[in-house]
C-alpha cells in the first residue's frame, strides 16, 4: 500500500529576488499573482516574464467563472506557469498548467481527464493551504452552489518554493484564517483512516509547530508571528503533505456549502465547523487515532490528554486569534441547514470517505444545528 507521495521538489529561499534569480524567471514564463504581492517583491527586478493579476477578475475565493475569465486573457504560449499567491492564485494556476483546461466544469465533472502540459512552479504567500504540494484544485462551481475539489496527479507542481519574505505583508486576519486551515489539515489527516505512520509524522509536526506559534501569539500579541512566519509556512507545507496523502474529511466537507453560499473565507468556514465535527466524533469514538492525536496535542496545549480537554483547550487558544461565529451570523437560515446537509451528501463523498467515525445524514444535520 502506498504510504507517501511528495511529487514537487521543495525549495526554500530567504527572498523573492533569490528565488527569481535561481529559477531564471523571464521570457516564456507566466507569473500569476496579485499586484500587491508582485510590486513590492518583484517589481524592482524588472523581469521579462508575462504577469497576470488575479484580483482583476474578482474578489474572494476562486470560482470556475473567475478561472475561465483569466484563461481567456492568456494569449501567448508559455513554457512555465509560476503561481505566487495564496490558495486562490495557486489553485487556479494548477488548471492553467493543463492541456486545454476550458471548459473547466468538464474537468470537475470528470467528462474529460486532466492532462499536464506545462511546467508548474508554486510559491505560497499564505501559510494555510499546502496546495503547493497537493494535486488538488478547489473551486466554487457557481452554477452548482458549492465548492468542489478536483484531484488529479497532472496538477502536481514540479517545484514548490517556500519564500518566508513573501508572507511579511500578509494581514493578520489572513494569517489567522490560513494557519487555522493548515491546523485543520493536520488534524483531519491525522484522524483519517487513510493516514499512516508517515503521513502522521508530517501532520503531528505541523500541528505542533502551529500550536507552539499560537501560544506565543496569545502571550505576546499578533506581532509575535513575524519571526515565526518561516515556521508557519513550513508547517503548512507539512500539513499539505499529510492531507495530500491521507485526505481531509468532514470539517472541509461541511464547510464548503457555507463558504460557497455566504462567501466565507476557506479557513474561517472550516473554523466555524471544526469544533462541532470534533465533538460529534467524540460522541462516537474517543479511542484509536483520536486518543493518539489528543495525547500528542496535549503537549503544546499544556493540558490533560483527555480528548475533551484537548479540544476545549484548542478552542480557547483559537479564540485568541479570531472570534468564532455562529452560522446564523454569516446569514445562514434554518432552511439552509437541510440544503447544506443534502449538498454534503451529494457533492462531498470524496472527503466524507476519510471521516474518523461515520457521520450519517442525521448527524451532519445535527452538527449544523448545534453550530447554528
Ligand atoms: N488545493 C488545495 O490543496 C487546497 C487546500 C486548502 C485550501 N484550498 C483553497 O485555497 C483557498 C484559500 O487560500 P488562502 O487561505 O491561501 O487564501 P487566499 O488565497 O484567498 O488569500 C486570502 C487573501 O490574502 C491575500 N494575500 C495572500 N497572500 C498575501 C500576502 N503575502 N500579502 C498580502 N496579501 C496576501 C489574497 O490576495 C487574498 O485577498 C480556498 O479557495 C481553498 O478552498 C486549496
Ligand atoms: Fe483547507
Are 107 and 98 in contact by the 8 Å Cβ rule? The answer is: yes
* Ligand 1 atom 29 nearest Cα: 170
pTM strictly above 0.95:
yes
DSSP state of 58: -
Q: Which three cell numbers stand for residue 95?
A: 488548471
Q: Which ligand does the CA of 244 lie closest to?
A: 1
What strands lie across the sheet with 119-124, from one edge to the other? 9-12, 159-162, 119-124, 80-85, 29-33, 50-53
Distance CA 132, CA 245 (A): 13
| 370 strand-pairing partners | none
Q: Which three cell numbers stand for residue 276?
A: 462541532
- Measure 178 CA to ligand 2 centroid, in angstroms: 8
Pocket perturbation via mutation, ligand 1, pick of 32, 65, 126 by most ligand atoms within 8 A of CB = 126
CA 337 to chain centre: 24
- Measure 285 CA to ligand 1 centroid, in angstroms: 33
Instruction: Give the H or E element holding residue 317.
Output: helix 307-321
Mean pLDDT by 10 residues, the chain (372 residues): 95 98 98 98 97 95 95 92 98 97 96 97 97 96 86 97 97 98 98 98 98 98 98 98 97 95 95 98 97 98 97 97 97 98 94 97 98 98
Are 138 and 91 in contact by the 8 Å Cβ rule? The answer is: yes
Distance CA 52, CA 54 (A): 6
- Measure 353 CA to ligand 2 centroid, in angstroms: 16
Q: Kindly report the length of the chain.
A: 372
Strands in the chain per DSSP E: 9-12, 29-33, 50-53, 80-85, 119-124, 136-141, 146-151, 159-162
Instruction: Give the H or E element holding residue 228.
Output: none
* Ligand 1 atom nearest 177 alpha carbon: 15
Nearest to 244 by CA among 157, 359, 347, 119: 157
Orientation angle between helical segments 266-284 and 361-371, nearest 10 degrees? 120
Strands 50-53 and 80-85: unpaired
Distance CA 201, CA 56 (A): 40
- Measure 244 CA to ligand 2 centroid, in angstroms: 11
Distance CA 259, CA 282 (A): 25
Q: Which residues line ligand 1 (CB under 6 A)?
A: 34, 36-37, 61-62, 85-89, 91, 125-126, 128-131, 134, 136-138, 166-167, 169-170, 174, 177-178, 181, 266-267
Q: Which residues of 12-34 are buried (b: 16+ CB within 10 A; e: fewer)?
A: ebeebeebbeebebeebbbbbbb
- Residues in contact with 127: Cβ distance below 8 Å, sequence separation at least 6, in sequence order: 167, 170, 175, 178, 179, 182, 229, 232, 233, 235, 236
Residue 2's CB is within 10 A of a number of other CB atoms, namely 6
What long-range pairs does 302-309 form, CB within 8 A, spacing at least 24?
302/215, 307/282, 308/282
Nearest to 34 by CA among 7, 48, 53: 53
Are 233 and 167 in contact by the 8 Å Cβ rule? The answer is: yes
Distance CA 97, CA 112 (A): 15
CA 218 to chain centre: 23
CA 97 to chain centre: 19
Amino acid at each position: 500500500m502506498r504510504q507517501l507521495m511528495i511529487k514537487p521538489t521543495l525549495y526554500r529561499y530567504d527572498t523573492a529576488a533569490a528565488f527569481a534569480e535561481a529559477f531564471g524567471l523571464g521570457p516564456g514564463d507566466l507569473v500569476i499573482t496579485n499586484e500587491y504581492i508582485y510590486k513590492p517583491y518583484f517589481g524592482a527586478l524588472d523581469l521579462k516574464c508575462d504577469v497576470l493579476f488575479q484580483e482583476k477578475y474578482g474578489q474572494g475565493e476562486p470560482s470556475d467563472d473567475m478561472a475561465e475569465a483569466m484563461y481567456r486573457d492568456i494569449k501567448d504560449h508559455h513554457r512555465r506557469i509560476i503561481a505566487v499567491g495564496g490558495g486562490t492564485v495557486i489553485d487556479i494556476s494548477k488548471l492553467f498548467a493543463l492541456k486545454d483546461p476550458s471548459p473547466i466544469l468538464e474537468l470537475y465533472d470528470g467528462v474529460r481527464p486532466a492532462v499536464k502540459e506545462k511546467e508548474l512552479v508554486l510559491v505560497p504567500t499564505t501559510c494555510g493551504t499546502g496546495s503547493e504540494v497537493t494535486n488538488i484544485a478547489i473551486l466554487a462551481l457557481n452554477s452548482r452552489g458549492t465548492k468542489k475539489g478536483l484531484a488529479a496527479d497532472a496538477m502536481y507542481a514540479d517545484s514548490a518554493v517556500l519564500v518566508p519574505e513573501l508572507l511579511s505583508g500578509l494581514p493578520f486576519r489572513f494569517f489567522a484564517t490560513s494557519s487555522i486551515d493548515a491546523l485543520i489539515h493536520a488534524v483531519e489527516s491525522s484522524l483519517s483512516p487513510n493516514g499512516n505512520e508517515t503521513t502522521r509524522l508530517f501532520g503531528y509536526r505541523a500541528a505542533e509547530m502551529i500550536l507552539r506559534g499560537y501560544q506565543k501569539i496569545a502571550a505576546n500579541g499578533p506581532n509575535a508571528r513575524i519571526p515565526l512566519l518561516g515556521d508557519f509556512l513550513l508547517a503548512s507545507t507539512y500539513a499539505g503533505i499529510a492531507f495530500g496523502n491521507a485526505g481531509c474529511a468532514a470539517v472541509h466537507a461541511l464547510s464548503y456549502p457555507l463558504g460557497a453560499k455566504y462567501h466565507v473565507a476557506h479557513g474561517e468556514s472550516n473554523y466555524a465547523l471544526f469544533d462541532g465535527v470534533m465533538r460529534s466524533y467524540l460522541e462516537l469514538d474517543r479511542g484509536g487515532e483520536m486518543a493518539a492525536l489528543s495525547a500528542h496535542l496535549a503537549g503544546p496545549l499544556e493540558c490533560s490528554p483527555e480528548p475533551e480537554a484537548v479540544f476545549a483547550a484548542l478552542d480557547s487558544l483559537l479564540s485568541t486569534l479570531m472570534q468564532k461565529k455562529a452560522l446564523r451570523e454569516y446569514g445562514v437560515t434554518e432552511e439552509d441547514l437541510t440544503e447544506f446537509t443534502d449538498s454534503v451528501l451529494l457533492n462531498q463523498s470524496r472527503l466524507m470517505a476519510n471521516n474518523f467515525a461515520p457521520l450519517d445524514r442525521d448527524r451532519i444535520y445535527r452538527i449544523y444545528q448545534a453550530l447554528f
